[in-house]
Amino acid sequence: MKDMTGDLEDTIYTMSLEADKVLQNVIHRTPLVTSLTLSKMIGANVYLKLENLQKTGSFKVRGAYYAIWRSKKEKDFSLCVTASSGNHAQGVAYASHSLGLSSIVVMPIHTPMIKVRSTEGYGAKVILYGDTYDEAYEKATSIAEERNALFVHPFNDPKVIAGQGTIGLELLRDLDRIDSVIVPIGGGGLISGIATVLKKRRRGIKIYGVQASGSNAIYLSLKHGRLITLDRVSTIADGVMVKTPGDLTFKLISELVDDVVLVDDDEIVRAILFLMERCKTVAEPAGAMSIAALLANKLSVEGNVVTIISGGNVDMPLLVRIINRALVLERRLVKLRGILPDRPGYLKKVIDIVARVNGNIVTVEHDRNSLELRPGVARVEILVEVPSVEVVNEIIQALKKRGFNFKVA
């Protein structure tokens, strides 16, 4: 296996060098920026590779374009077909259009509408099919076979992996010393490409992968030493919802990646809010996973640490829910619940106390009809924005002094 993997590494590395030239005037050479706040928190020099600022909003265009470009040199075809939860779809659509080809993209039915519309905007025909990527994949491969089209795999293709590996080449040009790189993992194409290039040039660089706990096929496959297929996947990070890893990516990750850790949805949500507030950048859930691992202390790192912000295609309604969830987790959006006498003026007294202690009331719910309540009282729930956890305690204590017993719901 190691000999086979070595040959695969050499092939991908060589193609990555070619892809770097091919993509020169096609993609953005995305910024590598520092985060002083995160660096202080982690105790290392943390850099962010902002692939959320890439054309089509994610790194996927790199692999898609190079795979189609190279395949076009090898054989004749006029149609590209793929399956994707969104980012690879946009990459294939953009690349196909740029190279004068048609494209069909099969996407899971729950794909965020921003990704569907963007893919159509790049000229692709979109078919919504299946609940997961794997179901969409089966549909797409059958279409490709029927239409004699090129099927562009999202991750388990040496050409696609090589295209993603160009990120590693950019990192080497932008940073003199790299101690570790943290990469989100779905099917494994991104980390396989980056790891292949970096380990080929500087074997001592540590490569860490991050998977969502609700979609952890690579993590389990590494633990068991064989490919594991999940019965189901469930995570807010739709970009990494993959039931079965690729055999090629599994080989490369097994050989080249130093560790893979898991993050849950709440840790991802907190990372998205952190990136928005402290780094002034918007990442989709999958794109924030490397930051989630650092903030949740899942990795011990030092020196120069690069985090890959892999994409920024987040549906706006979802982003609103993410922000609200993050504020609740951070105790900056708090629901207070208490019982009051159902008489005029009591609710106003509570509202006045909350306002005096710097709480901003968002909503008030007043229920006097529940069978759980005795006559003459009402249950009150107040959703309050607060600047810090300390203010929550101040509000509760201020209410208590006036005889009102409220708790965090």
Tens digit of pLDDT for each residue in 156-209? 999 999 999 999 999 999 999 999 999 999 999 999 999 999 999 999 999 999
Q: How far apart are alpha carbons 12 and 53 in whole angstroms?
A: 25
Selection from 31, 301, 282, 283 nearest residue 167 by Cα: 31
Instruction: Say how many C-beta atoms besides its own lie within 10 A of residue 329's C-beta.
Output: 14
Q: Which fold has domain 2-59+157-325?
A: Rossmann fold (3.40.50)
pLDDT of residue 61: 98
Domain definitions of the chain by residue range: 2-59+157-325, 60-151, 331-408
What count of residues does the chain have?
409
pTM of the prediction? 0.93
Q: How far apart are alpha carbons 50 and 366 in whole angstroms?
A: 46
Amino acid at the residue 141: T
DSSP letters, 119-131, are HHHTTPEEEE--S
Tens digit of pLDDT for each residue in 350-376? 999 999 998 999 999 999 888 889 999
Spatial contact of 264 and 289, defined as CB atoms under 8 Å apart = no
Tens digit of pLDDT for each residue in 367-405? 988 888 999 999 999 999 998 888 999 999 999 999 999
**What CATH architecture applies to the domain 331-408?**
2-Layer Sandwich (3.30)
Q: Which fold has domain 60-151?
A: Rossmann fold (3.40.50)
For residue 377, what are its two tokens?
Answer: 């009282």
Q: How far apart are alpha carbons 179 and 227 in whole angstroms?
A: 29
Q: How far apart are alpha carbons 44 and 146 in whole angstroms?
A: 52
Q: Which residues contact 161 (CB under 8 A, 6 or more apart)?
A: 12, 63, 155, 189, 192, 193, 196, 248, 249, 252
Which single residue is written with the structure tokens 């609740």?
A: 328
Q: Strands (DSSP E) along 89-205, which ranges?
A: 102-107, 125-128, 150-151, 180-184
Q: How far apart are alpha carbons 51 and 56 in whole angstroms?
A: 10
Q: How far apart are alpha carbons 91 and 67 in whole angstroms?
A: 11
For residue 74, what are its two tokens?
Answer: 């090898």
Tens digit of pLDDT for each residue in 45-92? 999 999 999 999 999 999 999 999 999 999 999 999 999 878 999 999
Could you tell me the pLDDT band of residue 315, with boundaries at 50, 70 and 90? confident
Amino acid at the residue 155: F
Reply yes or no on whether 215 is catalytic.
no
Spatial contact of 306 and 171, defined as CB atoms under 8 Å apart = yes
Tens digit of pLDDT for each residue in 260-307? 999 999 999 999 999 999 999 999 999 999 999 999 999 999 999 999
Could you tell me the pLDDT band of residue 4, with boundaries at 50, 70 and 90? low
Same CATH topology for 2-59+157-325 and 60-151: the answer is yes
Give the end-to-end CA distance of the chain in Å, rounded to a whole number. 54
pLDDT of residue 2: 43
Catalytic residue, chosen from 49, 55, 60, 199, is: 60
Reply yes or no on whether 310 is catalytic.
yes
Query: Parallel, antiparallel, or unpaired for β 180-184 and 206-212?
Result: parallel
Could you tell me the pLDDT band of residue 225, with boundaries at 50, 70 and 90? very high
